[in-house]
Structure 1
């Protein structure tokens, strides 16, 4: 990594008393949380609960109505070392439908902040190949990004983050539209990346996957209903309170 360790903080994300709304009604309210280096954090909550908005605030895409958001100790709106954050959006599949470029070219984009004056070097191409190998799609390097499945496209964008030498991976509903077999492999990949030291902040609709794979669960519906280990979460009523229904009973009934 090229970043000066003197400028680092182990807190990759810091959110303090955050509130934001597109209208007079808040979408997120009084949210405080910290994501430390090496953590694997999953955010769950019902549709419209503010999960994606919270990620956008973390990334500095909105100005909070109240509170403070920081990336690596710096205000997120003014954070300039964007290569340190890899973002995979929920609509990445839609955004790539008309892109007439190859998988390798997409991943190589992650090297642009490091290239300097637009000059792509051998090192940049080596990093690109290494990233493709890490996510298991090196054999697809020359294929058009538009020809990949949804799961393969998500891997390509994670590879781009790896090529940029990102330290924080932020994912917003990355398994939407991905088949079940690919979803399982995708979460195995995230596990491996986290084991290798990648900090992950994930919004995911699959509660079971979050409970199985992450180290920490945040249950959100405008405000935080729970923030802690998955095994403690399942012993609380936070899920029912956040979703406004007894999901456990409904799930048990549907299994009968």
Structure 2
């Protein structure tokens, strides 16, 4: 995995640096005065109730929305002007939409991650080797020739992560990646993320499973339009941020958390 900046312009600075982000689709803000800094090598989980602005925040951080106020830098550049998109692997909630209509294999999806690196627009054997290595890293090399439409939810998620790795992404951003994935595959998926973080990848994860975020990530950001908590999982579990952010939509049962 390539843990260094392709241009060397952000080796010491944060990968994400957002200050005072505010954005609304109407007059009411969906994201209100949010500060968020993500440093290289961090594993950050964002949680919040439905409609709390989590996905919108990700799109602001990636420069896909223009904030109404505030600023955000992505890998050392204004997010809206950031051009080296291969340095960020973004797996959105609707990532499977286009592939469902395309007769494309797993290997072809992953190889797309090499296109920005292909000299003169030509994919070389070295590019194919890098894509194959990414498939091995996420444990689905045996699925290389299978159609993307034939995969389970967990296998598809691994395919998109492999595409990001093939593109030498420095930051992996995941929006609700375990929705529709069976419990056994969810555990294996989080094991994979643990391995990738240990190998130096930075991960920013929006996840509905609060327990998994507390157990797996190194830092919890609790959002409901504004940030209610940002810090270590143990401190979050001991705080009242969960109740304040979720209100009556949260219940605690037998030491677990149910939304």
**TM-score tier after normalising by the smaller chain length:** over 0.9
Cα distance per residue 1:205-230 (max 9 Å; x no partner)? 00011011100000000000000000
Separation of aligned partners in 2, 1:41 and 1:35 = 8
The answer to whether structure 1 residue 149 and structure 2 residue 190 are counterparts is: no
The aligned counterpart of 2:111 is 108
Superposed, 1:47-196 pairs within 5 Å as: 47-196=50-199
Separation of aligned partners in 2, 1:75 and 1:11 = 13
Separation of aligned partners in 1, 2:198 and 2:120 = 34
Structure 2: runs of 5+ lacking an equivalent: none
The answer to whether the 8 Å contact 1:27/1:50 transfers is yes
| 1:202 equivalent among 171, 180, 205 | 205
Q: Structure 1 residue runs of 4+, over 4 Å off?
A: 252-255
| 1:12 equivalent among 11, 15, 21 | 15
Superposed, 1:192-231 pairs within 5 Å as: 192-231=195-234
Question: 1:6 and 1:98, CA in 2 relative to 1: closer, same or farther beyond 3 A?
Answer: closer
SS at match of 2:101: coil
Separation of aligned partners in 1, 2:254 and 2:38 = 33
The aligned counterpart of 2:235 is 232
The answer to whether the 8 Å contact 1:9/1:72 transfers is no
Separation of aligned partners in 2, 1:184 and 1:143 = 23
**86-95 vs 49-58, which moves further:** 86-95
Separation of aligned partners in 1, 2:115 and 2:256 = 50
Separation of aligned partners in 2, 1:218 and 1:225 = 8
The answer to whether the 8 Å contact 1:18/1:30 transfers is yes
SS at match of 1:41: strand
Cα distance, 1:167 vs structure 2: 0.2
> Could you tell me the TM-score, scaled by structure 2's length?
0.94
Cα distance, 1:94 vs structure 2: 3.2
Separation of aligned partners in 2, 1:37 and 1:133 = 24
The aligned counterpart of 1:21 is 24
> Could you tell me the TM-score, scaled by structure 1's length?
0.95
| Count of matched residue pairs | 254
Cα distance, 1:97 vs structure 2: 1.2
Cα distance, 1:118 vs structure 2: 1.5
Separation of aligned partners in 2, 1:166 and 1:212 = 25
Separation of aligned partners in 2, 1:180 and 1:94 = 23
